[in-house]
Amino acid sequence: MKKAFMGLMVVLLVFSFVSFAAAQEKDPMEGVKTYSGDFQWVPGGLPWNLFIPHYDISSGWWSGLVLQNMAGGANQLVINFCDNDGYVWGTKEWALTGWQKVAWMVTYQMAQCDQGWIVIESQLPLLGFINYGQNFSNGTGSVTTLGPFNSF
């Protein structure tokens, strides 16, 4: 059982890094709506919610979001970038085809906030990871993968 679990974790981590490095056909910045933290996030009209507990793009930190549609049908998404107090600074609407996965770097243009958390509302279930790390001046760096996170 432990060997099977470790095998699953290795597969998920490889999936995360491969997905993260994959080039995307859509521009992740296209259609991003920005706000000035005027309102806190509240559940919208879509039935599934996926919470990513932390992203950080400040002071040399970077974050990369990985999402997988866990259904065979098309999945509409609304990605909300919130600050640490839950105020929404940026949103992005997205659509995934059946079983599609996407990955991209979180940018300030997208999130409009240096750090916080992400909530993704969707029509169908999702699986998500967040990769984040820091590059150091001596050429080394660190990478941490959080996840998998499942929508509920």
Dist. CA 51–CA 76, nearest whole Å: 16
Write the pLDDT tens digit of every residue in 53-73. 999 999 889 999 999 999 999
Domain-wise residue ranges, the chain: 2-150
pTM for the model stands at 0.78
Quote the radius of gyration of the chain (alpha carbons, Å). Answer: 15
Write the pLDDT tens digit of every residue in 8-48. 444 444 444 444 444 444 566 577 788 888 899 988 889 99
Q: How many helices (H) and strands (E) does the chain have?
A: 2, 9
Q: Inform me whether the pLDDT recorded for 93 exceeds 60.
A: yes
Mean pLDDT, range 76-94, rounded to an integer: 95
Q: Inform me whether the pLDDT recorded for 82 exceeds 80.
A: yes
CATH-assigned architecture of domain 2-150: Sandwich (2.60)
Residue 20 is encoded by which pair of tokens? 């993260």
Cβ distance 146 to 55 under 8 Å? no
